[in-house]
Amino acid sequence: MNSPEDKHTLVTPVDTPRRTFRQFLLTLLFNSIIALILTALGGQFYINIIISQCIGLSIFSLHALALHTGYFTTRLQHLLMTIVMITLGAMFGTYIAEQILKWGYGVVLGLSGQGYYNSILLGLLFGTIISYFFYSRYRILETENQAKAEQLARMQREKELTEAQLKLFQAQIEPHFLFNTLANVGSLIESAPAQAKGMLDSLNQYLRVSLKRTREEATNLGQELELLQAYLSILKQRMQQRLDYSIVCAAELYALPFPPLLIQPLIENAIKHGLEPKIEGGQIQLSIEKNAQGLLIQVVDNGVGLNGPWHPGVGLNSVHQRVKNLYGDEARFEVASNPQGGVSAVISIPQQTLERLDESASQ
């Protein structure tokens, strides 16, 4: 978490046996090429190839072993380790080559002093070039992996967003609510025409705001409250003394840009799962406050609470996802039971987030 390198550890390509084997083959190839170059410059091929293979393979093995410990995670650690391993490998490889030539071919190189250093220096030179080659390949792989991981994350976010939006539109006008309200209007037309008209007016307003909102990109808090007012007023007429509600929001907040269907599902849940199942009914309080900390939206009911057989469904999921998608991780959405019964659903959006969105909107 401290260095920028660490952030990418998760997408660092880990050496699989297959990749290691491929690197081994490449090392053999490089060693042979070096031997050819040295032969072209002078000297005998079999001596050169033994020396270069010994040095190359020593560096390769030492480096692979050191990497396998897993201790070298940052780029700097890795670089230092590689330098040390190239030096050690060059020395060790030279020694081995000397022994092989001496016992196998009876060739005494007689590398002492200057000759020995030259051999190690050559080893260092080629070791560095080859290590750099491997390092670049590794960086390319790393970048590819990172890009893949980012793409995956982006796809996941997009998928969630579409899914949330889809469910949102499905959930917009609940058929049970619509048909039950129509049944009420129908049943009141003959016996209580004035009441029927009142309910029809509320339904009219509810549907108009609902439809208007699906066609508009930008909506504000005032529209959302108009919708909720119509919705709750219909339910009040249907449930009569079983429902009381209050909406508290300062008038200067009405113009605040506000996404649709954040508060509505919370109100619907409070009715459907909190108050409808409760015989004596109860209250819903919606309050919206803005202070120095930010925006606080609370939906509090005194219904049956969270202990029932009910399971959170589409409504809460879409609110949770939308809060995160629209306002980021600092915004909170909390659902908990109240000490005195019922449920509180709270959305809080920090001031900084509101300001940030404000800036990006005005740009």
Binding site for other proteins (CB under 8 A): 1, 6-7, 9-11, 14, 16, 68-71, 73, 145, 149, 175-176, 178-180, 182-184, 186-188, 191-192, 195, 238-240, 242, 276-279, 281, 305-307, 309, 311-314, 316-317, 320, 324, 333-339
Q: Which is nearer to other proteins, 307 or 362 (CB)?
A: 307
User: Is the CB of 90 or the CB of 261 nearer to other proteins?
Assistant: 261
How many residues does this entry show for the chain?
363
CB of 150 to other proteins, least distance (A): 13
Nearest residue to 264 (alpha-carbon basis) of 183, 332, 192, 174: 174
Q: Which residues contact 351 (CB under 8 A, 6 or more apart)?
A: 292, 293, 294
Q: How far is the CB of 128 from other proteins (least distance, A)?
A: 26
CA neighbor of 29 nearest in space, from 59, 49, 47, 46: 49
Torsion over CA: 273, 277, 278, 280 (sign): positive
Of 261 and 319, CB closest to other proteins: 319
**Chain mean position to CA 213:** 29
Nearer to other proteins, 129 or 152 (CB): 152
Give the nearest distance from C-beta 27 to other proteins in angstroms.
Answer: 23
Q: Are strands 294-301 and 282-291 parallel, antiparallel or unpaired?
A: antiparallel
| Pair type for strands 343-350 and 332-337 | antiparallel
Comparing CB distances to other proteins, the nearer of 249 and 323 is 323
Least CB distance to other proteins at residue 305 (A): 7
CB atoms within 10 A of CB 164: 19
Closest distance between other proteins and the C-beta of residue 349, in Å? 16
Q: Least Å distance between CB 127 and other proteins?
A: 25
Pick 191 or 362: Cβ nearer other proteins? 191
Rounded Cα distance between 135 and 114, Å, is: 31
